Chains A and B, each alone.
Chain A
Amino acid sequence: MNIQAPALEYGALAPILIILAAAVIGVMVEAFLSAKVRAPIQLAISLGAVVLSLSQVWNLRGSATTTAAVNSVVIDGPVLFMQGTILILSLFAFLLIADIDAFAAQASAVPGSSEEARALESGRIQSEVYPLTLFAIGGMMIFPAANDLITLFVALEVLSLPLYLMAGLSRRRRLLSQEAALKYFLLGAYSSAFFLFGAAFLYGFAGDVSLAGIRSAVSGGPGNDVFLIIGMVSLSVGLLFKVGAAPFHAWTPDVYQGAPTPITAFMAAATKVAAFGAILRIFYVSLGGAVYSWKPILTAVAILTMVVGSVIAIAQRDIKRMLAYSSIAHAGFLLTGVIALNQEGLRASLFYLASYGITTIGAFALVTLVRDSSGEVGDLNRWIGLSKRSPAMALIFSVFLLSFAGIPLTAGFIGKFTIFTAAYESGNIAVVVAGVLSSAIAAFFYVRVIVMIFFTDSKQDTVTVAIPSLYTNLTIWIAAITTLALGLFPAPLLDFISTFSTFAR
Chain B
Amino acid sequence: MTSENLIYLVALPLFSSALLMLLGRRADRWGHVFATLISASTFVIGAMEFFAMIDRPEASRAVTQKLFTWISVGTFNVDAGLVLDQLSIAFVLLITGVGTLIHIYSIAYMSHDRDRRRFFAYLNFFIAAMLLLVLGDSYLNLYVGWEGVGLASYLLIGFWNQQPEYATAAKKAFVANRAGDFGLSVAVMIAFANFGAVSFVGIEEKVDGASQTALTAMGLMLLLAAAGKSAQFPLQAWLGDAMAGPTPVSALIHAATMVTAGVYLITRSNFIFDNAPTAQLAVVMVGIITLLFGAVIGMAKDDIKKALAASTMSQIGYMIMASGFGPAGYAFAIMHLLTHGFFKAGLFLGAGSVMHGMNDEVNMRRYGGLARFMPITSITFGLGYLAIIGVPPFAGFYSKDKIIETAFNTGGLQGVLFGSAALLGAVITAFYMTRLMLMTFFGNKRWVSGAEPHESPFLMWAPMAVLALGSAASGYLLYSGKAIVKWLAPVVDRDHHEHAEFLPAIVVTTLAVVAVIIGVAVAFIKYRGELSESAPSDVSIFTRVTRRDLLQDDANEFLFMRPGQKLTQVLVKTDESVIDGAVRAVGSSVLGSARGMRKLQTGYVRNYALLILIGALVALLAALVVTI
Nearest A-chain residue to B628, judged by Cβ? A225
Q: Do B616 and A230 have beta carbons less than 8 Å apart?
A: no
Min CB–CB distance B145 → chain A (angstroms): 25
Bound together, the chains give a CA A300 to CA B619 distance in angstroms of: 9
Q: Is B601 an interface residue (CB 8 A)?
A: yes
Inter-chain contacts of B627 with A (CB < 8 A): 225, 229, 292-293
CB distance from B506 to the nearest CB of A (A): 66
Q: How far is the CA of A313 from the CA of B447 in the complex (A)?
A: 72
Q: Given A250-B601, A315-B598, are A234 and B616 neighbors across the interface (CB < 8 Å)?
A: yes
Check B587 for interface membership: any CB of A closer than 8 A. Answer: yes
Q: Tell me the bound Cα distance from A314 to B611 in angstroms.
A: 21
Q: Is A294 an interface residue (CB 8 A)?
A: yes
A247–B620 CB distance below 8 A: no
Shortest CB-to-CB span from A167 to chain B, Å, is: 14
Residue among B587, B597, B605, B620 making CB contact with A444, cutoff 8 Å: B587
Contact of A254 among B591, B597, B603, B622 (CB under 8 A): B603
Give the chain A neighbours of B611 by CB distance below 8 A. Answer: 247-248, 250
What distance in Å separates the Cβ of A278 from its nearest Cβ neighbour in chain B?
18
Q: Mark B231-267, 1 if CB is under 8 A from A, else 0.
A: 0000000000000000000000000000000000000
User: B479-512: which residues lie under 8 A (CB-CB) from chain A?
Assistant: none
**Contact B615 A312, beta carbon cutoff 8 Å:** no
Task: Name the CB-closest residue of B to A225.
Answer: B627
Q: Choose the segment among A83-91, A186-194, A363-371 that binds chain B (4+ C-beta atoms closer than 8 Å).
A: A186-194
Q: Chain A residues with Cβ under 8 A from B628's Cβ?
A: 225
Asked if B594 is at the interface of the complex by the 8 Å CB criterion, the answer is yes
Task: Quote the shortest CB–CB distance from B586 to chain A (angstroms).
Answer: 9
The one of B590, B615, B623 that contacts A247, using a Cβ cutoff of 8 Å? B615
Q: CB-CB < 8 A to A254: which residues of B? A: 601, 603
A183: CB under 8 A from chain B? yes
Alpha-carbon distance between A191 and B615 when the two chains are bound, in angstroms:
12
A301-B615 Cα distance, complex, nearest whole Å:
9
Contact pattern, B 594-609, Cβ under 8 Å of A = 1, otherwise 0: 1101101101010111
What mask results when residues 198 to 237 of chain A are scored 1 for a CB within 8 Å of chain B, else 0?
A: 0000000000000000000000000001100110111011
Question: Is A183 a contact of B608 with CB atoms below 8 Å?
Answer: yes
Q: Let me know if B614 is at the binding interface, CB within 8 A.
A: yes
Contact, CB under 8 Å: A314 / B626: no
Q: Which residues of B contact A40 (CB under 8 A)?
A: none
- Nearest chain B CB to A243 CB, angstrom units: 14
A194-B616 in contact (CB<8A)? yes
Given contacts A253-B601, A444-B587, contact A237 B623 (CB under 8 A): no
B362 to chain A, nearest CB (A): 42
Is the CB of B540 closer than 8 A to any CB of chain A?
no
Q: List residues 232-263 of chain A with CB under 8 A from any CB of chain B.
A: 232-234, 236-237, 241, 246-248, 250-251, 253-254
**How many Å lie between the Cα of A186 and that of B616 in the bound state?**
17
> Which DSSP category, helix, strand, loop or mixed, fits chain B's interface?
helix
With both chains docked as a complex, state the minimum distance between the C-beta of A372 and any C-beta of chain B, in angstroms: 25
Instruction: Tell me the nearest residue of chain B to A230, going by C-beta.
Output: B620
**B623 — which chain A residues lie within 8 A by C-beta?**
229, 232-233, 293-294, 296-297
B608 touches A311 (CB 8 A): no
Contact B590 A441 (CB under 8 A): yes
Q: Which of A182, A187, A314 contacts B609 (CB 8 A)?
A: A187
Give Cα A233 to B621, complex, Å. Answer: 10
User: How far does the alpha carbon of A441 sit from the alpha carbon of B622 in the complex, in Å?
Assistant: 28
Q: Which residue on chain B has the smallest CB distance to residue A185?
A: B605
- How many B residues have CB within 8 A of the partner chain? 28
Q: Is A308 interfacial (CB-CB < 8 Å)?
A: yes
Which A residues are in CB contact (< 8 Å) with B587? 444
Q: Flag whether B593 is at the interface (Cβ < 8 A).
A: yes
Could you say which of B593, B607, B612 contacts A190, with CB atoms under 8 Å apart? Answer: B612
Instruction: Give every chain B residue within 8 A of A312 (Cβ-Cβ).
Output: 594, 597-598, 601
Nearest CB of B to A304, in Å = 9
Taking a contact as CB atoms under 8 Å apart, the answer to whether A297 and B605 are in contact is no
- The reply to whether B616 and A187 contact each other, CB–CB distance below 8 Å, is no
- Determine if B626 and A308 form an interchain contact, defined as CB atoms under 8 angstroms apart: no
Supposing A190-B609, A225-B628, A254-B603 touch, asked if A315 and B595 sit within 8 A by C-beta, the answer is: yes
**CB–CB A229/B624 < 8 A:** yes
CB pair B616–A233 under 8 Å, yes or no, is yes
- In Å, the complex CA distance between A14 and B527 comes to 99
Among A247, A253, A313, the residue within 8 A (CB) of B612 is: A247
- Nearest to A251 among chain B residues (CB) is B608
Q: Which residues of A contact B607 (CB under 8 A)?
A: 250
Residue picked from A182, A230, A253, A293, most chain B C-beta under 10 Å: A293
By a CB distance below 8 angstroms, the chain A residues around B620 are 229-230, 233-234
Q: Report whether A314 and B594 are in contact in the complex, using a CB–CB cutoff of 8 Å.
A: yes
Interchain CA distance A194-B611 in the complex, whole Å: 14
A230 to B627, CA, bound (A): 12
B598 proximity list for chain A (CB < 8 A): 312, 315
Report yes or no: B591 in contact with A186, Cβ–Cβ below 8 A.
no
Name A311's contact: one of B594, B612, B615, B624 (CB within 8 Å).
B594
Shortest CB–CB separation between residue A493 and chain B, in angstroms? 20
Contact A236 B601 (CB under 8 A): no
Nearest neighbor of B600 in chain A, beta-carbon distance: A250
Some 20 contacts from A to B, beta carbons below 8 A apart, are A186-B605, A186-B609, A187-B612, A191-B612, A225-B627, A229-B620, A232-B623, A237-B616, A247-B615, A248-B615, A250-B600, A250-B601, A293-B627, A296-B623, A301-B619, A314-B590, A315-B595, A315-B598, A441-B590, A444-B590
Closest 8 interchain pairs by CB?
A247-B615, A315-B594, A250-B608, A293-B627, A237-B616, A233-B620, A314-B594, A229-B623
Interface on A for B, CB 8 Å cutoff? 182-183, 186-187, 190-191, 194, 225-226, 229-230, 232-234, 236-237, 241, 246-248, 250-251, 253-254, 292-294, 296-297, 300-301, 308, 311-315, 441, 444
A225-B628, A247-B612, A250-B612 are known contacts; what are 11 more A-B pairs with Cβ within 8 Å? A186-B605, A187-B608, A229-B623, A232-B623, A233-B616, A234-B620, A247-B614, A247-B615, A251-B608, A311-B594, A313-B594
